Amino acid sequence: MAEIQEEEKQLETQEIDEGEKPTWKRLSEIFETDDPFFNSILFLQGYDFSSNSYAIEGDYITIIDPGNDYTAFIQLFEKGIKPLDIKKIVITHGHRDHVMGTFELFRYSDIMQNRDIQVILHEEGPFEFKEMIKKIEFPYTEIRGGETIEVSGFQLEAIHTPGHTIDGVTYYHAPTKTAFTGDTVLPHAMAEPDKNAGGNFNYYLYGVKALLKKDIENILPGHGMPVKSLGRTVIEQTYESLMMKVIGVEKKIRWVDGAMHLVQKGLLEEAVFCCDKALAFDSNNLQAVQLKAFCLTDLDKCEEALPLFDRLIDAKKDDPGILIGKGRALMGVGKYLESIEYFDKVLEFHPNVKDAQVLKGMALYLSGRFEEALEIEGFKEEFIGRFRETLEKRAK
């Protein structure tokens, strides 16, 4: 708990600069590091109706999100960069404040004459934007997510992160654990889904969940200042805010209550996340342990669920639901004969519990003891009605 509070305190100290109009700054100076990747990046904080922009230097210049401010490139070229140095423009999503600077660049005569800037964007990017590029005969490349793109000599993984818009893409640099997140993940805020651009809360959860699976320490967002070292904290905060929206509550509620709401909506991975948060505050919260164990079993993560069921059995030895849960988890890892012990414990005191009958019958059948399985009345009824074809396939 203390670690969580300390991370949030550190994040609050990474303030957004206010005052004069921003200018391009080298990211290595902001992060106070001499890492070559950060040293190659120039950062311009968004101003008025323009997003943040990033210029990556190498054999050529790549612009990630050209924003919507013509003065940005006047400043950039004053630093000694020439229009013809720019060879790629990479788009995180198609909102005007992120993309319209593309056409400010195209106004430069050298660029217009050569037409050798490649624009990279998601295939679901705005039709009108792509038509404008096509009309002035510049090349563009559509991506879907999952590709690795080369920018100025660096490799970035494109991760489809829909939600704010349908075409959201995060670009991940694995060696430095850094992500250009556009508006999918922002410090101190959460971008609302834009329904007109295909935005959707359920997609948003999918996109942010994809980022949680990566080892991300640094966030280079579409608005606000870059975040060093606390990237995962920012992603988790966005994930938490999304879950509150999906649950339909405005104020913070107990994590375990949030988990129960999410289970009712079928969002089991999100429920596990909430259980983990509850357990971070109180590792002895058996309600959270139990809910997490059942969610993991339903997610076919039975190996992770087994030690949780062991904890629960130590605390609630004769609880039928927990004993059945342990048996199900054992079946999930192929330990059919071991699972029977737990179904038998339930049936010893509660012989009419149909779930225990059916699951014991399944365990016997899958372990090759077909005749014994069919002697169990509850299983026999289900077997004849629903399970026969499925179980025969699994037994083979």
Domains 17-247 and 318-395 share a fold: no
Report how far residue 211's alpha carbon sits from residue 237's, in angstroms, rounded to the nearest whole number.
Answer: 12
d(CA 208, CA 242): 9
Supply angle C-alpha 24, 158, 130, rounded to 5: 75
By CB atoms closer than 10 A (0-12, 13-18, 19+), residue 348 is: exposed
Distance CA 318, CA 315 (A): 9
CA-to-CA distance for 174 and 158, rounded, in angstroms? 11
Beta carbons of 156 and 171 less than 8 angstroms apart: yes
Q: How many CA atoms lie within 13 A of 51 on its CB side?
A: 29
Both tokens of 103, joined, read: 């056409």
Q: Residues 143, 145, 148, 152: what is their CA dihedral angle, to the nearest 10 degrees?
A: 60
Q: For residues 203 and 130, what is the distance between their CA atoms, to the nearest angstrom?
A: 23
What CA–CA distance (Å, rounded) separates 256 from 138?
52
- In 3-state terms, what secondary structure has residue 60? coil
The token pair at 304 is 């992770």
Token look-up 């997610």 returns 299
Q: Indicate the length of the chain as a whole number.
A: 396
CATH of 318-395 among 1.25.40.10, 3.90.1150.10, 1.10.357.140, 3.40.50.10210: 1.25.40.10
- CATH superfamily to which 17-247 belongs: Ribonuclease Z/Hydroxyacylglutathione hydrolase-like (3.60.15.10)
Crossing angle for the helix pair 286-298 and 255-264, nearest 10 degrees? 30
Name the pTM for this structure: 0.82
- How far apart CA 349 and CA 360 sit, in angstroms, is 15
State the greatest distance between any 2 C-alpha atoms of the chain, in Å, as a whole number.
85
Q: Where are the alpha helices (DSSP H) in 151-301?
A: 201-212, 231-247, 255-264, 268-281, 286-298
- In order along its 396 residues, the chain shows pLDDT tens digits of 445 445 555 555 454 444 567 899 999 999 999 999 999 999 999 988 899 999 999 999 999 999 999 899 999 999 999 999 999 999 999 999 999 999 999 999 999 999 999 999 999 999 999 999 999 999 999 999 999 999 999 999 999 999 999 999 999 999 999 999 999 999 988 999 999 999 999 899 999 999 999 999 999 999 999 999 999 999 999 999 998 888 887 677 889 999 999 999 999 999 999 999 999 999 999 999 999 999 999 999 999 999 999 999 999 888 999 999 999 999 999 999 999 999 999 999 999 999 999 999 999 999 999 899 989 988 888 776 666 666 666 665
Ramachandran angles phi, psi of 27, nearest 5°:
-65, -30
What does the domain layout of the chain look like in residue ranges? 17-247, 318-395
- Contacting residues for 282 by C-beta, under 8 A, at least 6 apart: 288
Give the separation between CA 218 and CA 32, rounded to whole angstroms.
Answer: 13
Read off φ and ψ for residue 377, nearest 5 degrees.
Answer: -60, -45
- Please return the burial class of 372, using the count of CB atoms within 10 Å of its CB with bins 0-12, 13-18 and 19+: middle
